[in-house]
């Protein structure tokens, strides 16, 4: 009797073995799904034969290599790129795609769609077709950090009890890295935190209550990392420069600078009066072309007069400032076409030639340089997909009770909409409307809609 196996022991042993086998299978499925997500996000770069570049790419990795802070170019993100130089920058975009695969999977789990690796793969594969996701994930630019920071901010704010300590610190690290990588991300994150704080006091909205302490701490850490990283990498303590000139460029495009010059010139105290008749009327032409900006000394040397003119126009034309700011915000909000630079990457070519000539042949052999390509046709899909998805998010928030949205899903829709509004305001007002600025965030709207559809079609599963 003592040696006979007991029924209870056998009944317990079989399920335990089954659970172990199921765990191995699940781990294998997740491993394959994550690898698949990364592969589809990197597909354009793999097809290109080299990570995708932008005119600004060279300015990023040049900053830490030359120990000089560049206008609008984060030294910290540049250092991230420098780490990938030995292997032709491929590690950089692999990390970017892995980060997004993790955040997408985590967000699905927070929204009661966890434990479904192939659903996660399917959603990401869909996003690579209908949004700009793979063109940012595989690009040597900090743009992909914008949607990453929003998903991380959402997770820290609304899923504190559904995530592990390691996951929470991982999301905080994403936010803290994204903010010094691009100053627009800093403004966007601060704007969202403040908006969520204000909305939490409006009880009639009955919105999910945010837990902002950890998210706010991550944002604060990112803000402090801006000047600290610049000091460590370039020897200059301060935020990434260039904001005044970007804003001035928008005022040039909106005609306020010309109006001011017409009213004030001739005036020997205003150096720009000498170029009143040759002023450009497009922001990019002021910022990057053969313009009076460079004849007057360039970004840093001319910044004091730019600041004086900005303040003077605010005093003299406040209504015009308000009108153009609102117009720029609205224009930026609806400008989200996918675009990839092909013809104007000369600044990055120069940086490769001067600083990392060993990779210049591979760069120039890539399709982006050797053949060129046009992503314009993709916008027949990307623009309506983003537009309908954003409209769907608005409807979902308005009809959340009727649709029976969970607090987590309501919060996701809210955070994405706030991000789109904050980004449009910051980029539209303090720079000027550019499709790329909103496209990098608009990809989150179809992701949220995919979650809504999946929740309706699938039984909820715990993560």
215-241 pLDDT, tens per residue?
A: 999 999 999 999 999 999 999 898 988
**Residues 154 and 217 occupy one common structural domain:** yes
Determine, yes or no, domain membership for 393. Answer: yes
Query: Is there a single domain that holds both residue 226 and residue 266?
Result: no
Task: Count the helices and strands in the chain (H runs, E runs).
Answer: 25, 0
* Tens-binned pLDDT, residue by residue, of the chain (463 aa): 444 444 444 444 445 555 455 555 668 899 999 999 999 999 999 999 999 999 999 999 999 999 988 787 899 999 999 999 999 999 999 999 999 999 999 999 999 999 899 999 999 999 999 999 999 999 999 999 999 999 999 999 999 788 999 999 999 999 999 999 999 999 999 999 999 999 999 988 888 899 999 999 999 999 999 999 999 999 989 898 888 999 999 999 999 999 999 999 999 999 999 998 889 888 888 988 778 988 998 888 899 999 999 999 999 999 999 999 999 999 999 999 999 999 889 999 999 999 999 999 999 999 999 999 999 999 999 999 999 999 999 999 999 999 999 999 999 999 999 999 999 999 999 998 999 999 999 999 999 999 999 998 885 444 4
- The alpha carbon dihedral of 416, 420, 421, 423 has a sign of positive
Residue 434 and residue 331 in contact, taking contact as beta carbons nearer than 8 Å: no
Look at the block and give the residue holding tokens 């630019």. Answer: 141
Q: Is residue 7 part of a domain?
A: no
Together in a domain, 256 and 297: yes
Query: What's the whole-model pTM score?
Result: 0.91
Residue 2 domain-assigned (yes or no): no
In this predicted model, what pLDDT tens digit does every residue of 65-107 receive, in sequence order?
Answer: 999 887 878 999 999 999 999 999 999 999 999 999 999 999 9
Looking at the domain assignment, is residue 26 inside a domain? Answer: no
Q: Does some domain include residue 27? A: no
Q: Is residue 409 part of a domain?
A: no
| Residue where a domain stops, chosen among 269, 289, 316 | 316
Q: Are residues 203 and 230 in the same domain?
A: yes
Domains of the chain: total: 2
Among 283, 316, 349, which residue terminates a domain?
316
Among 395, 392, 369, 364, smallest CA distance to 449 is for 392
Residue 250 lies in a domain: yes
Residue 73, SS3 per DSSP: strand
Shortest CA distance to 66 belongs to which of 77, 79, 53? 79
Q: How many Cα atoms within 13 Å fall on the side-chain side of residue 454? A: 25
Predicted local distance difference test score (pLDDT) of residue 291: 85
120 and 180: one domain?
yes
| Encoded tokens for 423 | 């980004």
In a domain, 108, yes or no: yes
Q: Tell me if 155 sits within 8 A of 463, measured CB to CB.
A: no
266 upstream amide cis, omega within 30 of 0: yes
Same-domain pairing of 442 and 348 = yes
Looking at the structure, tell me whether residues 208 and 248 fall in a common domain.
no
Range of the domain at 310: 243-316
Tell me which DSSP letter residue 3 carries.
T
User: Do 169 and 226 belong to one domain?
Assistant: yes
- Copy the structure tokens of residue 442: 């608009």
- Same domain, yes or no: 223 and 350: yes
Residue 278 shares a structural domain with residue 185: no
Q: State whether 229 and 249 are in the same domain.
A: no
Q: Is the distance from CB of 256 to CB of 320 less than 8 angstroms? A: yes
Mark whether 102 and 247 lie in a shared domain: no
For residues 290 and 302, give the distance between their C-alpha atoms in angstroms, rounded to a whole number.
15
């Amino acid at each position: 009797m003592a040696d006979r196996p007991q029924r209870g022991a056998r009944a317990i042993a079989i399920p335990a073995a089954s659970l172990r086998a199921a765990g191995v299978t699940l781990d294998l499925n997740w491993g394959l799904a994550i690898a698949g997500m990364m592969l589809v996000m990197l597909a354009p770069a793999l097809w290109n034969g080299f990570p995708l570049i932008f005119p600004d790419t060279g300015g990023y990795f040049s900053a830490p290599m030359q120990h000089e802070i560049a206008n609008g170019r984060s030294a910290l993100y540049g250092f991230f790129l420098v780490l990938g130089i030995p292997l032709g920058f491929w590690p950089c975009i692999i990390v970017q795609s892995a980060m997004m695969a993790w955040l997408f999977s985590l967000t699905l789990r927070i929204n009661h769609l966890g434990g479904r690796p192939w659903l996660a793969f399917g959603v990401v594969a869909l996003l690579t077709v209908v949004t700009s996701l793979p063109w940012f994930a595989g690009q040597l630019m900090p743009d992909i950090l914008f949607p990453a920071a929003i998903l991380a901010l959402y997770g820290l704010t609304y899923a504190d009890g559904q995530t592990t300590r390691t996951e929470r610190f991982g999301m905080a690290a994403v936010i803290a890295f994204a903010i010094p990588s691009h100053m627009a991300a800093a403004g966007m994150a601060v704007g969202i935190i403040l908006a969520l704080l204000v909305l939490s006091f409006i009880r009639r909205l009955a919105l999910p209550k945010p837990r902002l302490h950890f998210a706010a701490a991550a944002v604060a850490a990112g803000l402090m990392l801006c000047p600290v990283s610049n000091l460590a990498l370039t020897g200059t303590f301060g935020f990434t420069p260039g904001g005044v000139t970007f804003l001035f460029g928008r005022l040039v495009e909106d005609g306020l600078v010309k109006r001011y010059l017409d009213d004030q010139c001739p005036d020997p105290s205003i150096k720009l009066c000498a170029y009143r008749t040759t002023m450009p009327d497009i922001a990019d032409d002021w910022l990057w072309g053969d313009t009076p900006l460079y004849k007057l000394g360039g970004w840093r040397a001319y910044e004091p007069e730019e600041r004086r003119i900005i303040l003077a126009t605010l005093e003299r034309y406040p209504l015009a400032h308000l009108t153009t700011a609102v117009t720029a915000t609205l224009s930026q909000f609806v400008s989200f076409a996918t675009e990839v630079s092909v013809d104007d990457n000369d600044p990055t070519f120069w940086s490769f030639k001067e600083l990392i000539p060993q990779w210049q042949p591979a760069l120039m052999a890539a399709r982006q340089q050797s053949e060129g390509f046009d992503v314009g046709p993709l916008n027949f899909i990307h623009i309506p997909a983003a537009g309908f998805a954003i409209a769907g998010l608005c409807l979902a928030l308005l009809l959340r009770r009727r649709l029976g949205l969970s607090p987590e899903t309501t919060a996701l829709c809210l955070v994405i909409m706030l991000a789109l509004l904050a980004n449009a305001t910051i980029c539209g007002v303090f720079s000027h409307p550019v499709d790329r600025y909103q496209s990098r965030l608009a990809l989150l709207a179809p992701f949220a809609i995919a979650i809504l559809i999946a929740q309706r079609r699938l039984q909820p599963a715990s993560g």
